[in-house]
Amino acid sequence: MKFQIKHEMKGRIRVHFMQKRMTYTQADLLQYYLESLDGVTAVKVYDRTADAAIQYQGARTDLLKALQRFHYEAVQAPSAVLTNSGRELNSRYQEKLVNKVLFHYGRGLILPAPVNACYTALMSVKYIWKGIQTLWHRKIEVPVLDATAIGVSVARGDMGTAGSIMFLLGIGELLEEWTHKKSVGDLARTMSLNVGSVWVKKDGQELLVSCDQVQAGDEVVVHMGTVIPFDGTVTAGEAMVNQASLTGESVPVRKGEGSTAYAGTAVEEGEITVLVKSVGGSSRYEKIVKMIEESEKLKSGLESKAEHLADRLVPYTLAGTGLTYLITRNTTKALAVLMVDFSCALKLAMPISVLSAIREANTHKMTVKGGKYLESVADAKTIVFDKTGTLTEAKPTVADVVSFNGMSPDELLRIAACLEEHFPHSMAKAVVNAAKERHLDHEEMHSKVQYIVAHGISTTINGKKAIIGSHHFVFEDEQCTIPTGMEERFAALPEEYSHLYLALEGQLAAVICIEDPLRTEAAEVVKQLKECGFEKIVMMTGDSDRTAKAIARKVGVDEYYSEVLPEDKANFVEQEKQKGRKVIMIGDGINDSPALSAADVGIAISDGAEIAREIADITIGADDLQEIVALRMLSAALMKRIHWNYRFIVGFNSGLIGLGVAGILQPTTSALLHNTSTLMIGLKSMQNLL
């Protein structure tokens, strides 16, 4: 496509596409295309001017060639990306804001004073009526104060003050509504489904296919620990399904034959087959938006306090107005109190601060599902890490396959991959990827697979019992034995690797050595977290004590626990909470889910199990654990901003009331300064914290 370079510096380029203006869909397609290019780190597309600002790493020529290759028709973006991008919402509110400002100041210049006064009086009816309705419900809240201030100004013939109050109230409402809708939309998009491939049932077999290939009427098999990819009806199987991401309820719901299954809910136990009703993602998005809007998830404790405080202060403001009049018998001084209240600023600044922080977290590859979780992150004293995929690399690899039954390592790896391919765990992925790299075909050759969380997998192959899993599961639970004469080989297994044990017919067949290297930044992150105020940093793992001890020493955690079960992690979290500590749990697997639910804040790694991401309150990118430090700093900065807002609002408005009562400021000036400061605080609260 033809374009022109408008501005350029190292690592950043702004280009203009040769068209007058882009449609919202075209802009979203271009954004999607550019973000998918290797080396592109950030993109902003301007639909009004048909420009794109691109930040990139790597060769400039590669980027320019990619821009030349671009055509709208050739880009296949997911429907959810285009439908719910938020671009149209932003454009609509920008237009509303500009129109409101132009209309307010334009009518003052164009309309004759009597006509302008009539218009102001007419518009005041809406606010006065809202105040009367609030009183009718026996409440003295913010609408009563607004109605009184506007009503008294109109009654005194001070139409300029009444108009200014209504204008600034309208601007505040518009900004709050815009910020809220944008934040809810951003949050819903990041919570929306992102499943790459699914198991489709065809001719009695399960085939792994891309989500894009699934059509309405297909049957999809959903295994334990995975997310239901589409809305549909359960045709076979039984499962306990976690629907927290849609309904907010934490208790899993039983789903059996004939039950309705919803896209984005996660199977905690069991397995079901779902007849796909619809493959569109919009219903999932709409359900999440509704859930967020209806729940209190977005509200932090400080936000709720601000709302209640704003309403509680109204009677005192009204009483102060009356008292000032009784003492001074001066209407102007009494109105100076009435024209200034604390509620507008409190109600506007707090939610905008929180929603803006959620948006900023999004730019750091963190999905925060509500303001109260940011508040908990700021207050937390204990942080618990899972080891595999969290403190260690998210992508472990197979280092060796040690045979104990005479079969070739490749054949044993093929069997292991056949068992592991159904289950979302980093160790399982390592086995499947190793088989793929060695071009080992592993078609279904086993019977029904049973997965035991944090233990392993049990099934039969050609009538023979086959199990794969942890040392505890294979040797203690299943009572498997090491073949005679192989004891020395078993004792000589390399200690630097994690071990996955495969047994056939009660005898050890192979040990798969998994290289699970420590993240390079792990020790530094733990050190920084201690500097950020965490008093106890703990590592918990199902791995052996030998491996856990070595990792704990390298990382520098305060405590570590090895060979733990999912319930052990959850119990530890509950014990810490009973001691009065707020607890953060960080994990990536199915076995971390109970602890993620139990913690004050559950944080999942984005590359981890789907169920962990669904249950978690916050999801962070898998690239760098530094994001956890950034999250703590962001949360602390948010709390600092909220407390500063409190102090400024109370101090500034108290000063205005004092100056008004002293007769230094007129009510019109007080109202203007009060409302302008409210607007300024709202705009300041939208700024980035980091």
Q: What is the 3-state secondary structure of 152-171? A: HHHHCCCHHHHHHHHHHHHH
How far apart (Å, rounded) are the C-alpha atoms in residues 368 and 188? 10
pLDDT tens digit sequence for 598-619: 899 999 887 777 777 777 888 8
Contact predicate 435/398, CB 8 Å: no
Residue recorded with tokens 């971390």 = 592
pLDDT at 195 over 80: no
How far apart (Å, rounded) are the C-alpha atoms in residues 295 and 25? 31
Confidence of residue 123 (pLDDT cuts 50, 70, 90): very high
pLDDT tens digit sequence for 425-444: 677 888 988 998 888 876 66
How far apart (Å, rounded) are the C-alpha atoms in residues 370 and 391? 25
What phi and psi, each to the nearest 5 degrees, are found at residue 419? -80, -40
Residue recorded with tokens 């000063």 = 655
Greater pLDDT, 280 or 665: 665
Greater pLDDT, 676 or 13: 13
Task: Write down how long the chain is.
Answer: 690
Contact predicate 469/452, CB 8 Å: yes
Q: Which two tokens stand for residue 126?
A: 């809406």
287 sits in which H/E element: helix 282-294
Q: What pLDDT, on a 0 to 100 scale, did the predictor assign at position 607?
A: 74
pLDDT at 294 over 60: no
Residue 519's CB: how many other CB atoms inside 10 A?
A: 19
Confidence of residue 454 (pLDDT cuts 50, 70, 90): low
Sheet holding 601-605, edge to edge: 366-368, 618-620, 601-605, 583-587, 382-386, 536-540, 559-561
pLDDT at 300 over 90: no
The tally of CA atoms less than 13 A away on the side-chain side of residue 175 is: 26
Terminal Cα distance for the chain, rounded = 37
Bridge pairing between strands 12-17 and 51-56: antiparallel
**What is the pTM assigned to this prediction?**
0.72
How far apart (Å, rounded) are the C-alpha atoms in residues 416 and 176? 55
Residue recorded with tokens 């990139």 = 56
Q: Which residue from 418, 493, 483 is spatially nearest to 457, judged by alpha carbons?
A: 418
Beta bridge partners of 586: 385, 603
Q: What pLDDT, on a 0 to 100 scale, did the predictor assign at position 445?
A: 60
pLDDT at 509 over 90: yes
Greater pLDDT, 65 or 81: 65
Confidence of residue 132 (pLDDT cuts 50, 70, 90): very high
To 5 degrees, how large is the angle CA 149–CA 154–CA 157? 130
Confidence of residue 283 (pLDDT cuts 50, 70, 90): low
Q: What pLDDT, on a 0 to 100 scale, did the predictor assign at position 103?
A: 92
How far apart (Å, rounded) are the C-alpha atoms in residues 331 and 673? 19
Distance of CA 28 to the CA centre of its chain: 21
pLDDT tens digit sequence for 375-394: 899 999 999 999 877 888 76
Contact predicate 378/369, CB 8 Å: no
Instruction: Enumerate residues 6+ apart whose C-beta is below 8 A from 463.
Output: none
Distance of CA 11 to the CA centre of its chain: 29
